[in-house]
Amino acid sequence: MPGTGPKSYSCLLCNKRTTPNDRYKIKSQHASIIEKKFLQKTTNEDVLCRKCRYICETQSFATQESKSDTSGPSEPCKRMKTSGCASPPSITLSIPSTSKSHANCVICKKPGPKLIVVTQYARVRAFIRKEMFVPAGSRCCPKHIADNEFTVDALQKMQQTNPDTNINRTATVELLQQTRDFALRNENTRLNFDNPNSMDNEDYYNLTGLTKDQFEELLSYLKDVDIRASKTRSARTCIAILLTKLRCGMSNHLLGTLFGLQKWQVRRAVLTAKHALMSNFVPHHLGFPHITREDVKENHTRPLAKELLCNVAENPVILVLDGTYIYLQKSGNFSFSRRSYSTHKHRPLVKPMIVVTTSGYIVSVLGPYLADSKNSDAKILTHMIETNVEEIKDWIQEDDIFIVDRGFRDAEALLSDIGIHIEMPSFLTRGAKQHSTEESNATRLVTKLRWVVESVNGRLKTWNYLDRTIPNSQIPHIGDYVRIISAICNKFRHDVSVAVESDLSTAAKMRFLSKEANVLKEYVEGNGLDKREIRWQKIDSSDASIVFPQLSEEEIRELTMGVYQIKLAKSYAQEHVDKDGNYEILVNNDHDGILCAKLQSRHISAKKYMLWIGFDEMSIKSWFCKCKVGSRVVGMCAHITSVIWFLSYAKYKDIQNIGVRNWCSYVDDAAALPVDNSDSEEDSLVGNEEE
């Protein structure tokens, strides 16, 4: 019997012979359309070609849409999503689109056959990042896809072929839904300052140095014309970027990652915010013109300073001046490299000059200045006066007081000529190893007030941008950044040093003691107690023969006239307390009521300081140390404080850890070499043989 040949399948509508890849069984929704529109009966064995199947689906969607005209606007979208039907292109959007060819790569235009279909996620990501629509069904080379989305190189090479996009309603709904899902997933991965509820108060402070309320108050100084919003960032975002950069010391690359911006966008936002703050915020809170002399006297001068340095009836302005350091990278410009190199710090830097009150309020920030020998603190102050910067000559008056350190000594003559009194620590005369009692006491009166400027400098460095090595490209902006941070401190931070009730009594006590002599020093030197001939016996602090008075920390603070010495005393005690918790001291039976101690210097390994303390069972009578300032009676040095703190306080307390943690055990020591005993053993053998 002859063969009948392969069975053929023809399309029911167009009667075209179909291939296996172009053959589709008739579904129920297609059968009803064929019977109604084309008046043909269908069976289970009938098939459709691709083209006729598309016509049936189009007719089916049109029928469903006409039936749902009376339903709500979300019904067609819901029906399309659940039925799986795709609507015909019916919407034209002004969004650029790529080619929709299936035969060529949508990126590099190379022909197949090894092409893959671009996924829905990759199309949505391309729309978000490139603002370009990739039609459904588009294909590309496998190398252009990584982690289910286009690579960075592919996005850069992607080109539009049409200025508009023809899209159907189904694709529109899918695009909106995918974009919404992406936005929800990434809602908390970017810093968002436009929504005040997106972060809590602690996040605001950690990032910007300001609380939410302070951030809002800072924005109130700015107007819409100062920072124009764009489609990528708002005025709030610009200020947040600048403050985050200053507070955290981040690079523009890292800020771009956090805020979802490009590097150049971050740079423009920082410059815009800087100009706005310098124009509208800083002049209200920094600079000599922003504050009056009366305001400084009444609200920003401690009574302690008035009582120590002048008569209250005179009521002059008292200012504290000092320079701070902003470290720089090495420069390839040799001239600038020489001028910015500090022989004191042994690295390149610039120096802003800080002028504060005795409470720590920043009156002005001048500079920054270069760091070579032509820009010492004294010469910077001379430049300020001679150039009348910020009209400083009109602001200061005769009999005002400047508290400075020893680096301003060369400007003393200039200040005297204009009637300004200068207060600075005493100088150690040539050949002397210790200040006299009068010099030490006078120096203590100055340092009791001058510490506020050091504390202000430390507060400014809590904005990490100023505490790190700054790139040379940022040198033109350093002065503005320091002024912005200083104005923020003035507006939103409390003063470093505030007036207390005991200021007047403390000042009176210090002025009285500054005129007293150190009787123990005279006794030690007069009786030769500091000579080697005097035999001092070593005993432990637990020895019952020593009846040392027991004091509280408050009573010790009254002796030291401050807290800095007590902080150092704990570290000194840590180094001199043995494993059993005993402090080694020295006594001499010929001199009752006096103990001696020898303390290691914290700076120089080869130097130790001898000190003496006079006491009875109830109180500390006198003290004397061989360090530079150890002869003063207005307070005491940290060496003496260490002995008194341990013997009168820590000894009676259950203090587990004295001082700070010792990190030596975590670091290798090249001096710790193994002991070689082979030579000594050989020498002993040779000695035995000779005997």
Express each pLDDT in 250-309 by its tens digit.
999 999 988 888 899 999 999 999 999 999 999 999 999 999 999 999 999 998 998 888
CB count in 10 Å sphere of residue 684: 10
Give a yes or no: residue 51 inside a domain.
yes
Give a yes or no: residue 7 inside a domain.
no
**What's the whole-number mean pLDDT along residues 97-118?**
86
> Under a CB-based contact definition with an 8 Å cutoff, are residues 619 and 549 in contact?
yes
Q: What pLDDT was estimated at residue 646?
A: 87
> Under a CB-based contact definition with an 8 Å cutoff, are residues 99 and 166 in contact?
no
Question: Which of 468 and 37 is assigned the larger pLDDT?
Answer: 468
Sign of the CA dihedral running 286, 289, 292, 296: positive
pLDDT tens string 199-246: 888 999 999 999 999 999 999 998 766 787 777 788 889 999 999 999
Q: 489 and 623 in one domain?
A: no
Q: Which residue, 161, 185, 209, sits at the end of a domain?
A: 185
**pLDDT over 60 at 686, yes or no:** no
Predicted confidence band at 501 (pLDDT cuts at 50, 70, 90)? confident
Listed in sequence order, the residues at least 6 apart from 658 whose beta carbon sits closer than 8 Å to its beta carbon are 570, 573, 574, 577, 646, 650
**What's the whole-number mean pLDDT along residues 404-433?**
91
Give a yes or no: residue 552 inside a domain.
yes
CB count in 10 Å sphere of residue 499: 15
Q: 657 and 593 in one domain?
A: yes
CA distance 548 to 459: 40
**pLDDT over 60 at 88, yes or no:** no
Listed in sequence order, the residues at least 6 apart from 52 whose beta carbon sits closer than 8 Å to its beta carbon are 11, 12, 13, 14
Burial class (CB in 10 A: 0-12, 13-18, 19+), 45: exposed
**What's the whole-number mean pLDDT along residues 166-188?**
72
**pLDDT over 60 at 685, yes or no:** no
**What's the whole-number mean pLDDT along residues 473-477?**
94
Q: 272 and 352 in one domain?
A: no
CA distance 658 to 360: 31
Q: What pLDDT was estimated at residue 466?
A: 94
Q: Which residue, 280, 299, 334, sits at the end of a domain?
A: 280
Task: For 111, list phi and psi in degrees, rounded to 5.
Answer: -75, 165
Give a yes or no: residue 200 inside a domain.
yes
**pLDDT over 70 at 76, yes or no:** no
CA distance 415 to 332: 38
Place of tokens 């490009």: 262
pLDDT tens string 564-608: 898 998 888 888 887 666 777 888 777 888 888 888 888 888 888
Overall pTM > 0.85: no
How many domains is the chain partitioned into structurally?
A: 5
**What's the whole-number mean pLDDT along residues 167-190?**
71
Predicted confidence band at 529 (pLDDT cuts at 50, 70, 90)? confident
Predicted confidence band at 492 (pLDDT cuts at 50, 70, 90)? very high
Predicted confidence band at 432 (pLDDT cuts at 50, 70, 90)? confident
Q: 154 and 29 in one domain?
A: no
Predicted confidence band at 677 (pLDDT cuts at 50, 70, 90)? low
Q: 572 and 456 in one domain?
A: no
Give a yes or no: residue 583 inside a domain.
yes
Q: What pLDDT was estimated at residue 59?
A: 72
User: What tokens appear for 25 in the block?
Assistant: 């069984």
Q: 580 and 650 in one domain?
A: yes
| Domain CATH code at residue 388 | 3.30.420.10
CB count in 10 Å sphere of residue 289: 12
Q: What pLDDT was estimated at residue 424?
A: 92
Q: Which residue, 451, 470, 505, sits at the end of a domain?
A: 505
Q: Amino acid identity, residue 589?
A: N
Q: 204 and 155 in one domain?
A: no
CA distance 529 to 518: 15
Give a yes or no: residue 71 inside a domain.
yes
Predicted confidence band at 678 (pLDDT cuts at 50, 70, 90)? low
Question: Which of 550 and 173 is assigned the larger pLDDT?
Answer: 550
DSSP 667: S
Q: What pLDDT was estimated at residue 680?
A: 53
Strand, coil or helix: what is 603?
A: coil
CA distance 668 to 415: 52
Average the pLDDT over each of 39-43, 112-116, 433-437, 684-688 and give the range with the smallest value: 684-688
Q: 452 and 314 in one domain?
A: yes
Q: 398 and 306 in one domain?
A: yes
DSSP 35: I
> What percent of the chain is predicted at pLDDT more than 70?
88
Sign of the CA dihedral running 641, 642, 643, 646: positive
User: What tokens appear for 13 in the block?
Assistant: 């509508």
Helix and strand numbers (H, E) in the chain are 27, 20
Give a yes or no: residue 191 inside a domain.
no
For residue 227, the enclosing domain spans 196-280
CA distance 114 to 625: 88
Q: What pLDDT was estimated at residue 6?
A: 61
Q: What pLDDT was estimated at residue 591?
A: 82
User: What tokens appear for 336 in the block?
Assistant: 């600038």
CA distance 49 to 315: 102
**What's the whole-number mean pLDDT along residues 419-443?**
90
For the chain, how big is the Rg over CA atoms in Å? 41
pLDDT tens string 346-379: 999 999 999 999 999 999 999 999 999 999 999 9
Q: Amino acid identity, residue 668?
A: D
Give a yes or no: residue 528 inside a domain.
yes
Q: 461 and 328 in one domain?
A: yes
Q: 481 and 375 in one domain?
A: yes
Q: 314 and 268 in one domain?
A: no
